[in-house]
Structure 1
């Protein structure tokens, strides 16, 4: 649920192989640390190549005797950054374990990394502690590196990498405490507003706007002011500013949207959103359907021999059956199948219901009471409308409701 600049703690997901939602593998499994699965995303190799391309020539210019070895040192710099981010993420995950938040995995990627939890109950205080553990770990690494330099006074490549390690961890630690999402410091803003208003959603939206303000500040400081002074722009610095700013802006915008959507979760209630429906055995006929639902209301749900919802009757198909054939036409001939397990208790609501529906196939779900009797039919479009305030169009797109 939490996000940060070099890192991000994201929404709960289901476990399994390191695959993206589209079914493709998201990266290379690096095994487990303290029981937490670590995945190196393929996108990390982009930032590694960028580091070598940009920093290699700089090293070669500063240390001409290095020659091609400067590029190997630049790659070692990328690996040190990777290790620093991994420690950052582990700090999040291990701190979360104290509060019994189950960690699903750590993913190291183009933008640093993120930690995914399977599900947890957060409070303002716990949220801040878990978020701040990451930057604290990087500052601790910077301190350890500084002590090493004082004690060993390394020279050559060891000295270069030691200094880089210290400054990189200082930068990661300080940058991530800036008060705006998706940076870790955004949790300070979120928790403060959450504590004051009693609404985490309002806190998330406020922290997202704070993140946007930070992006604007970075753009003014590193791009607009130098240009206004007539300074010659540093192409590398401007490129990094644009890339980081774009990432932060997208993360801040996503946080704002996420907060707004979560604020509407209370509207997602299976009983309230369902259309009236009744269940009848699959062995019924079209005549039985017409007797129970002559005008197409309530919706007719067919139930299998075990009493579980199995299909939904189509009004169009029923209307196409000749009157003389209604008594001998099976109900299954005018229905389409429900997805496997596509039924929910009528008391289901909120985030729990949304997460459950996300695991089911299809876009229609039977609603059942405590006795397993069908009482309604819940459509995916009704859930989407409740959460977003927009009606679903054909093809899955949404349009704003007229209110």
Structure 2
């Protein structure tokens, strides 16, 4: 019977490429478009009775103009990054506006700021262009309404995004300033994340708490928008704090430092030989094949269960569990390079080898995770058999 693999779930509608950058319209954008029509349509209808049902068409056009403004914003990020050779994977336009997704690259404080501020700068330019159009030309009512909306939308997008906290673009200013002062990007990211949380508190205080303290009833639609935006910003700020904290721990992630001592045994060895090498009970035993590459790890429990009379005739492979193909790392591996490599491997154990290919240690996935997260790993660091 042939297995049918389910097609990969698409995150949205591909809109093509602009300057070589793929652009995707996420399905969630239609939620904000519908919200804009339902909330802003009646407002336009009341303020411009002559529009009638057209007010809802204008409201939808408003949503499309917002989409275009966000697209220009993200393209400015992508094109500026392209100058510095930062590869852009794609631009996604979604419920929260949009984001530019980059592939791995090497950043610096100055370049990070320029790429971040390119987005708000583009929106300021669009707002300025709309302002000139309004001040120099006489337009019809609908065109004037949309141009006015376009001007204010871009102005507000630009101002909002330069606020000093992640995930907003202005947060990169804070991150880069702290990064430049301390030499640590991780500390900058954490500081900018806390800046984002402070912004959330300020927004909620201004739009919800302040009217309540003044005895006024906040506008319902404004409260909904405030809650949604604040929730998004809080999650982004918290993610930035977590990312910075994890990045700060990367220097602690070294193959040599996290591995337990281990020695290598040929796959032709017997249980008797394994018992001699592991007599102290503190050294892991890694089995290597005829080509000298690690291929398995001796399970201490299985090793101890072999009767003494059968120890010399039982091969060590009988009491071992297999390592994943290629699950061995140089003892000098560390940081992001080590984590990236391990993330591509299966299994929970990795042999550590020296410059000569000799086994010197055994690294566990638990030890790496504990070093990254700061959480304690279980006390027993000896390898346990895994499901085959």
Normalised to the residue count of structure 2, the TM-score between the two structures is 0.89
Greater alpha carbon shift after TM alignment, 148-157 vs 84-93: 148-157
2:72 is aligned, of 87, 90, 93, to 87
Matches within 5 A, 1:135-154: 135-154=120-139
Following superposition of structure 1 onto structure 2, how do residues 221-236 of structure 1 map, counting pairs within 5 Å?
Answer: 221-236=206-221
Which aligned pairs between 1:305-384 and structure 2 lie closer than 5 A?
Answer: 305-384=290-369
What is the CA–CA distance in structure 1 between the aligned matches of 2:262 and 2:168, rounded to whole Å? 47
Q: Secondary structure at the match of 2:376?
A: strand
| SS of alignment partner, residue 46 of structure 1 | helix
RMSD after superposition? 2.2
Tell me if the contact between 1:384 and 1:391 (Cα under 8 Å) persists in the aligned partners.
Answer: no
Select the residue among 160, 171, 193 that pairs with 2:145.
Answer: 160
Alignment partner of 1:219 is 2:237: no
Preserved contact between residue 277 and residue 301 of structure 1 (Cα < 8 Å): yes
User: SS of 2:210's equivalent?
Assistant: helix
Q: Select 1:303's aligned residue among 277, 282, 288.
A: 288
Q: Where in structure 2 are there 5+ consecutive unaligned residues? A: 1-6, 380-388
- Matched with 1:53 is 38
Q: Equivalent residue for 1:107?
A: 92
Q: 1:235 to 1:282 in 2, by over 3 A?
A: same
Tell me how far 1:151 sits from its aligned partner: 4.2
- Quote the offset at 1:167 in angstroms: 1.1
Distance 1:98 1:361, change over 3 A: same
Q: CA deviation at 1:134?
A: 0.7
Q: 1:239 to 1:193 in 2, by over 3 A?
A: same
Q: Secondary structure at the match of 2:200?
A: helix
For 1:163 and 1:360, locate their aligned partners in 2 and report how far apart those are by CA, in whole Å.
55
Q: 1:393 to 1:35 in 2, by over 3 A?
A: farther
Distance 1:67 1:286 in 2: 88
Q: 1:24 to 1:279 in 2, by over 3 A?
A: farther
Q: Secondary structure at the match of 1:178?
A: coil
Tell me the residue number matched to 2:19. 34
Inter-partner Cα distance in structure 2 for 1:61 and 1:360: 61
**CA distance 1:359–1:43, change in 2 (3 Å):** farther
Tell me the CA shift for residue 374 of structure 1: 2.0
> 1:283 — aligned with what?
268
Deviation of 1:176 after TM superposition, in Å, equals 0.4
Distance in 2, matches of 1:25 and 1:278, equals 47
After TM superposition, which residue ranges in structure 1, 4 or more long, deviate above 6 angstroms?
A: none
Show the counterpart of 2:383: none
For structure 1, list consecutive stretches of 5 or more residues without a partner in the other structure.
1-18, 395-403
On the 8 A contact 1:280/1:303 being kept in 2, the answer is yes
State the partner residue of 1:6. Answer: none
Q: Distance between the aligned counterparts of 2:15 and 2:315, measured in 1?
A: 55
Structure with more relative contact order (C-alpha pairs < 8 Å, separation 6 or more)? 1
TM normalised by structure 1 equals 0.86
Please give the alpha-carbon distance, in whole angstroms, between the structure 1 residues aligned to 2:192 and 2:209.
24
How far apart, in 2, do the equivalents of 1:148 and 1:306 lie? 74
The equivalent position to 2:189 in structure 1, one of 204, 210, 214, is: 204
Change in Cα spacing, 1:295 to 1:45, as seen in structure 2 (3 Å) is farther
- Checking the alignment, whether the CA contact within 8 Å between 1:381 and 1:391 is kept in structure 2 is no
Whether the aligned pair in 1 keeps the contact of 2:207 and 2:218 (CA below 8 Å) is no
Q: Distance in 1 between matches of 2:110 and 2:173?
A: 9
Deviations, residues 351-390 of structure 1 (Å, cap 9, x unaligned)? 2212222222222211122222222111121112222221
Residues 1:215 and 1:301: Cα distance change in structure 2 (over 3 Å): same
**Of the two, which has the highest radius of gyration?**
2
Counterpart among 163, 169, 174 of residue 159 in structure 2: 174
